[in-house]
Chains A and B, each alone.
Chain A
Amino acid sequence: MEGSVPLEWYLILSAAIFAIGGVGVLLRRNAIILFMCIELMLNAVNLTFLAFSRYRTGALGALDLDGHVMSFFVIALAAAEAAVGLAIILSIFRHRRHINVDDGNLLKN
């Protein structure tokens, strides 16, 4: 695999995307933005899986599809999450005309 992009670059990229997503989850208030940040984190992980999968194939000389399988799982999960999450966000928006996560404290205490 001479001349190809080294594994570290993938990892650095995915770490950067994960961190951006993580910081977004922690700091942003808008539920949609949070959602998108979670997607970023999930996909950063997917990228790692695929990078490792590719890397291991190169090292062992045989095709290793474990990382791909995990990615599919994550994508399916993200799709399901998006379906449920967006439905919740939508119904919250209908009630309150905004989707600020800070204000969703009706059941607190």
Chain B
Amino acid sequence: MIPMFAMGASDHDDHGHDDHGHGDHGDGHGGHGDHGHGEHGGGSSWWMYLLGFLVLAPTLMCLFNGVVGSSGVSYNPATGEYSSPILMAIILAPAIGAVINGTIGQKLPRPIVNLVGCAAIGLAFLFSISAVGSLMGLEAPAAEGHMAHQPIVYNAFKWIWVGNFQIPAKFVLDPLSAVMILIITGIGTLIHIYSAGYMSHDPAYARFFTYLNLFCFAMLILVLGGNMLLTFVGWEGVGLCSYLLIGFWYTDDAKASAGKKAFVVNRVGDFAFIIGMFLIFTAAESLDYQAITQLATTPETAGPLMGIATAATIFIFIGCTGKSAQIPLFVWLPDAMAGPTPVSALIHAATMVTAGVYLIARMNALFILAPTTMWIVVVVGGVTALMAATIAVVQNDIKKVLAYSTVSQLGYMFMAVGSGALTAGVFHLMTHAFFKALLFLGAGAVIHGLHDEQDIRKMGGLRKSMPIIHWTFLVGCIAIAGVPGFAGFFSKDEILWNVFAQVHAGAPMPGLHVVMWIVGVLTAGLTAFYMFRLYFLTFHGESRVAAGVTPHDAPAAMAMPLIILAALSAVGGYLGVPHILGGLVHWIPGIGEAMSHHILHTWLEQVFTPSANALSIRFEHDQEVVMEWVTMGVSVVVALGAIAASWMLYARPSDVPKTVAERASLPYKILSNKYYVDELYALLFVKPTLLIGRFFHKVVDEVLIDLLLVNGAAWVMESMGAIGKRLQDGNVQRYAGYVVLGLGAIIFLLLIK
């Protein structure tokens, strides 16, 4: 019999890494005592808590609805606002889960911890659906015949109340935050369930679910917060949880320092965010989003904001580059892959890293006042997208490829919001959350199934042994590559079209947008290429799996989220069908009419009205349709061509990749070393900082403070004491002698007077 764990189980328990045994193997290798117990976590008990969750959650929902009425929305005539405590329920559900698992989780049995963790976020998801359902009902006629959704506002308490600096703990559910909370709680729930399987052998499972719940709590504060300071609280909270989860296996030095790196790099961005807040407060005297938007969109009051808009938005954008891993602060994200894979999926692909895109979308009224910032955002996004995509082409670690792909896709989102195509940015945020979470979870399942192997050179041919992972991963690849019909196609195409359309929309630099569009198309091609390189190297060709490892498919707890996410990746794009393709879906009974008009755009229109007015695309209608078809055609051809190229190079045995790597050894070396950015930063920032630190240690601290001030003061005292000591020698006669001397001195002085 082949030993299951070539590397030894005890070796893994040391740092609690993915030491997974599985139900489906446990049967075949019943003789192995060391992983026989694995069957519980991986195989049989997952549906137990799923069942418990399905029973418990509706019960609690009914209780909640019974107490506060149907999602508790009430109208306040004094302020003209709708209010509902359900927003607090959404936020507090994961917090309660974190508290339970964080305090007594260590003593609870594993299924209970899993149940608490999943139920906490699952409840938040159900509450979110209920709240968003209520929000849909609150339609009010807005200007120009559009229907606007009245936001649901909940003022929890007065938080900071000092003079005119008044910050309420105010939570706002509007169409934009509605999209975000559905992504966070929905994908969050799937990833929690997946984690129950993935972490089934980690002894620190209670800690893991505590952090994961805590992260969801912070992320929900971030998107529901009604003012910048509350968003900042969530912003810091997710940063903290990101740090805790990257360094989850903290006994491994490299992983602990990856967490530290993420934390420190994010501090740089957070610092800029704070300065941005200061600037906005000095001009607007408020940090409330509604108030800022109101001020910025009213020409009479926009004056003070105009003065600081460019500076403030640039600082806020620097904050976004930190959290959303853009140039120059992207370096932490690839290292963040040291965390458990569900963390990479939830935090470092689907939710937290999109916070920057969300923030710009949220503050679009202010960004519109600063065209300079807007083109900086576009350029930074475009350059990041291209750079990260080129790096991803040569990476051999399955998670690193996905990490750089995430950086690249985030660059797309910034290109979109920078072009004023906010809907496109949020749309891509959503579809990316679907397919990137899927890809990460699929990668996690592969790593799990190969017992910790992350190197794609040691994979290959896995499509037979891992059919579920293979098919879902393929859907993810197709979606991200932009094959027509799948989610990524719709959102990416919309971004490219909007970037291109800026050329004619009176943009200050039309040439820039042409360049950026080309960059976007190139990146799209590279994306399709590296994703299918990853797919073919992992699932096709000869097996290069190390001897002694038996690959196996995902256990049920992990397969279910994969299948749901694959379905979302396939159909998620139909929330944003472009106008020119509207006819293709118009026939669908019931929803076809709505679908043909870009559902997401209609839904978000009200939030983005200010910038829509400023940046509406000004093509002649016929010309617009032709151009849109052309750009769409170009990106589809590029994507399909890249997939074909990747198939030729990697699906079959070929030595072309090797030859290319040898011929172009210099570019290859630069790319595989990630443009030496880490080394550059080490040279520019880390080394000087260390030098300054050493200077302060060796010179300022040891010489100036220790030697001169501390020991110097003591030395002065001691020397003075040495003189005094000699006087007080205990010889009474000498004392008397001094008295006589003093007496003589006094007499002498009196005499010479």
Please indicate the chain B residues that have their CB under 8 angstroms from the CB of A26 in the complex: 733, 736-737, 740
Please indicate the chain B residues that have their CB under 8 angstroms from the CB of A108 in the complex: 729-730
B737 to chain A, nearest CB (A): 5
Please indicate the chain B residues that have their CB under 8 angstroms from the CB of A84 in the complex: none
Closest to B733 in A: A26
Q: How far is the CA of A22 from the CA of B742 in the complex (A)?
A: 14
Q: How far is the CA of A26 from the CA of B736 in the complex (A)?
A: 7
**Beta-carbon contact of B736 and A102 below 8 Å:** no
Closest to A105 in B: B730
Closest to A102 in B: B731
Interface residue? B732 (CB, 8 A): yes
- Chain B 697-753 interface residues, beta-carbon cutoff 8 Å to A: 729-733, 736-737, 740
Please indicate the chain A residues that have their CB under 8 angstroms from the CB of B740 in the complex: 22, 26
**Beta-carbon contact of B733 and A25 below 8 Å:** yes
Q: How far is the CA of A1 from the CA of B736 in the complex (A)?
A: 39
Interface residue? A101 (CB, 8 A): yes
Q: How far is the CA of A92 from the CA of B729 in the complex (A)?
A: 20
Please indicate the chain B residues that have their CB under 8 angstroms from the CB of A22 in the complex: 740
Please indicate the chain A residues that have their CB under 8 angstroms from the CB of B729 in the complex: 108
Q: How far is the CA of A22 from the CA of B730 in the complex (A)?
A: 19
**Beta-carbon contact of B733 and A101 below 8 Å:** yes
Closest to A108 in B: B730
Interface residue count for B (Cβ, 8 Å)?
8
- Chain A 27-58 interface residues, beta-carbon cutoff 8 Å to B: 27
Please indicate the chain B residues that have their CB under 8 angstroms from the CB of A101 in the complex: 732-733
Closest to A29 in B: B733
Please indicate the chain A residues that have their CB under 8 angstroms from the CB of B731 in the complex: 102
Q: How far is the CA of A105 from the CA of B737 in the complex (A)?
A: 18
* Count class of interface residues, chain A: under 10
Closest to A27 in B: B733
Q: How far is the CA of A20 from the CA of B730 in the complex (A)?
A: 24
Q: How far is the CA of A108 from the CA of B737 in the complex (A)?
A: 19
Closest to A22 in B: B740
Please indicate the chain B residues that have their CB under 8 angstroms from the CB of A107 in the complex: 730
- Chain A 67-109 interface residues, beta-carbon cutoff 8 Å to B: 101-102, 105, 107-108
A19 to chain B, nearest CB (A): 10
Please indicate the chain A residues that have their CB under 8 angstroms from the CB of B732 in the complex: 101
Which of B731, B733, B736, B737 lies at the interface centre, i.e. has the most chain A CB atoms within 10 A of its CB? B733
Please indicate the chain B residues that have their CB under 8 angstroms from the CB of A105 in the complex: 730
Closest to B730 in A: A108
B185 to chain A, nearest CB (A): 77
**Beta-carbon contact of A25 and B730 below 8 Å:** no
Closest to B743 in A: A22
Which of A26, A27, A101, A108 lies at the interface centre, i.e. has the most chain B CB atoms within 10 A of its CB? A26
Closest to B735 in A: A26
Q: How far is the CA of A101 from the CA of B729 in the complex (A)?
A: 13
Please indicate the chain A residues that have their CB under 8 angstroms from the CB of B737 in the complex: 26
Q: How far is the CA of A26 from the CA of B739 in the complex (A)?
A: 10
Q: How far is the CA of A25 from the CA of B730 in the complex (A)?
A: 15
Q: How far is the CA of A26 from the CA of B741 in the complex (A)?
A: 11
Interface flags for B455-493 (1: CB within 8 Å of A; 0: not) read 000000000000000000000000000000000000000
Closest to B728 in A: A108
Q: How far is the CA of A102 from the CA of B733 in the complex (A)?
A: 9
B751 to chain A, nearest CB (A): 15
Closest to A23 in B: B740
A57 to chain B, nearest CB (A): 27
Q: How far is the CA of A102 from the CA of B732 in the complex (A)?
A: 9
Q: How far is the CA of A101 from the CA of B731 in the complex (A)?
A: 8
Q: How far is the CA of A22 from the CA of B737 in the complex (A)?
A: 9
Please indicate the chain B residues that have their CB under 8 angstroms from the CB of A102 in the complex: 731
Q: How far is the CA of A27 from the CA of B736 in the complex (A)?
A: 10
Q: How far is the CA of A28 from the CA of B737 in the complex (A)?
A: 12
Q: How far is the CA of A108 from the CA of B740 in the complex (A)?
A: 23
B609 to chain A, nearest CB (A): 89
Closest to B737 in A: A26
Closest to A25 in B: B736
Q: How far is the CA of A27 from the CA of B740 in the complex (A)?
A: 12
Closest to B729 in A: A108
Q: How far is the CA of A25 from the CA of B460 in the complex (A)?
A: 108
A13 to chain B, nearest CB (A): 19
Please indicate the chain A residues that have their CB under 8 angstroms from the CB of B736 in the complex: 25-26
B151 to chain A, nearest CB (A): 82
- Chain B 130-174 interface residues, beta-carbon cutoff 8 Å to A: none
Please indicate the chain A residues that have their CB under 8 angstroms from the CB of B730 in the complex: 105, 107-108
Q: How far is the CA of A102 from the CA of B736 in the complex (A)?
A: 14
Q: How far is the CA of A104 from the CA of B283 in the complex (A)?
A: 82
Closest to A28 in B: B733
Q: How far is the CA of A108 from the CA of B732 in the complex (A)?
A: 12
Please indicate the chain B residues that have their CB under 8 angstroms from the CB of A27 in the complex: 733
B708 to chain A, nearest CB (A): 30
Q: How far is the CA of A22 from the CA of B743 in the complex (A)?
A: 12
Interface flags for B105-132 (1: CB within 8 Å of A; 0: not) read 0000000000000000000000000000
A56 to chain B, nearest CB (A): 22
A29 to chain B, nearest CB (A): 8
Interface flags for A60-72 (1: CB within 8 Å of B; 0: not) read 0000000000000
Q: How far is the CA of A49 from the CA of B470 in the complex (A)?
A: 122
A26 to chain B, nearest CB (A): 5
Q: How far is the CA of A25 from the CA of B739 in the complex (A)?
A: 12
Closest to A106 in B: B730
B558 to chain A, nearest CB (A): 79
B721 to chain A, nearest CB (A): 13
A25 to chain B, nearest CB (A): 6
B85 to chain A, nearest CB (A): 77
Q: How far is the CA of A27 from the CA of B732 in the complex (A)?
A: 11
Q: How far is the CA of A35 from the CA of B740 in the complex (A)?
A: 17
Q: How far is the CA of A37 from the CA of B740 in the complex (A)?
A: 15
Please indicate the chain A residues that have their CB under 8 angstroms from the CB of B733 in the complex: 25-27, 101
A99 to chain B, nearest CB (A): 13
Q: Could you jot down 15 A-B contacts, CB within 8 Å?
A: A22-B740, A25-B733, A25-B736, A26-B733, A26-B736, A26-B737, A26-B740, A27-B733, A101-B732, A101-B733, A102-B731, A105-B730, A107-B730, A108-B729, A108-B730
Since A25-B733, A102-B731, A108-B730 are in contact, a sample of 12 more A-B pairs with Cβ atoms closer than 8 Å, ordered by chain A residue number, is: A22-B740, A25-B736, A26-B733, A26-B736, A26-B737, A26-B740, A27-B733, A101-B732, A101-B733, A105-B730, A107-B730, A108-B729
Which residues of A does B touch, CB under 8 Å?
22, 25-27, 101-102, 105, 107-108
A-B pairs, 8 with minimum CB distance: A108-B730, A26-B737, A105-B730, A26-B733, A25-B736, A26-B736, A22-B740, A101-B732
